[in-house]
Amino acid sequence: MRMRRLPKALLAVGAVIVAAQLVRFAPTNPPVEGDLTAPAEITGILRRACYDCHSHETAWPWYSQVAPLSWLIHHDVNQGRQRLNFSQWSDYASDPGTASEKLRQISRRVAGGDMAPLYYRILHRSTRLTAAQRDALVAWAEQEAANQELSH
Amino acid sequence: MLLGTPPVRADDAIPEITLQNGRFEPAQLVVPANTAFKVRVTNADKAAIEWESFELHRERVVQPGETITVYIPALAPGTYKFFDDFHHDTVSGAIVAQ
């Protein structure tokens, strides 16, 4: 009895997965409007560990087109770009208080080990930061935030 | 290095937004389109707020009793929402450029 139900259950799951492919999101990388300028060491770390979700230069993996994973990835990229977008940094910089706040958040999130998110680090080994890289990023963000605060 | 100097803006008649009792006043601030401006944001409540707008790319923490000045670039005509990211039950507001 159980064995007879199994193929039906698998068919049902398969049908749901196939139907899910009808809900698609186009991977978008809008133009870069004003990218962050920082020392090469820092931009190297940011590009490797952060830019996929926090810029308009997302490297969309093949599975970003396969539902339901695609839904999660698109959601994360949209949220990430809303919260912090290095491709629009010049917008933040036109209000020094905002640039300072963004830099302080980068510092806090990186120092606290919250960024990049754990699941993303598991999927992408290259985004894992060494202690030295984290320290460099935090020191840079704190210094730039202080510079911003002095400027206004 | 990151940072440019904010563009020069007229200092007269700086519009103000105040958060009090979990509401922004005015809830809708009308400004001229295509003109850069500054806005003062005052937190008259007892807890820190984060005045944020995804559309304006602005995010500022405002302590209780504090007034901050936010630089806003020239805006195309339209409605730009802002909210308190620390308290999502706070009623959001909008800057309307026209």
β-bridge partners, B84: B51
Q: How confident is the model at residue B6 (pLDDT cuts 50, 70, 90)?
A: very low
pLDDT above 80 (res A91):
yes
- Nearest residue in A to B59, CA atom: A98
* Per-residue pLDDT reduced to its tens digit, A126-137: 788 899 999 999
How high is the pLDDT of residue B91? 80
Q: What is the mean pLDDT of chain A?
A: 88
B72 touches chain A (CB under 8 A): yes
Tell me the ipTM for this assembly. 0.83
Percentage of chain A lying above the pLDDT 90 cut: 48
* Per-residue pLDDT reduced to its tens digit, A10-22: 888 888 888 777 7
* Per-residue pLDDT reduced to its tens digit, B7-53: 334 455 899 999 999 999 999 999 999 999 999 999 999 999 999 99
Q: For the beta carbon of residue B78, count every other beta carbon within 10 angstroms.
A: 12
Q: How many angstroms separate the CA of residue A39 from the nearest CA in chain B? A: 10
Q: What is the mean pLDDT of residues A42-53?
A: 93
How high is the pLDDT of residue A25? 78
Please judge whether B54 and A82 are an interchain contact, meaning their C-beta atoms are less than 8 angstroms apart: yes
A11 or A144, which is more confident? A144
How high is the pLDDT of residue B1? 37
The packing angle between helices A131-150 and A96-111, to 10°, is 160
Q: Which tokens is A142 given?
A: 């704190």
What is the C-alpha to C-alpha distance for residues A77 and B3, in angstroms, rounded to an integer? 25
How high is the pLDDT of residue A50? 92
How high is the pLDDT of residue B2? 39
What is the C-alpha to C-alpha distance for residues A48 and A125, in angstroms, rounded to an integer? 10
What are the domain boundaries of chain A? 27-150
pLDDT above 60 (res A142):
yes
Please judge whether B71 and A151 are an interchain contact, meaning their C-beta atoms are less than 8 angstroms apart: no
A66 or A108, which is more confident? A108
Supply the DSSP symbol for A34. Answer: B
Which domains occur in chain B, in start order?
A: 16-97 (2.60.40.420)
A129 or A7, which is more confident? A129
Q: For the beta carbon of residue B65, count every other beta carbon within 10 angstroms.
A: 10
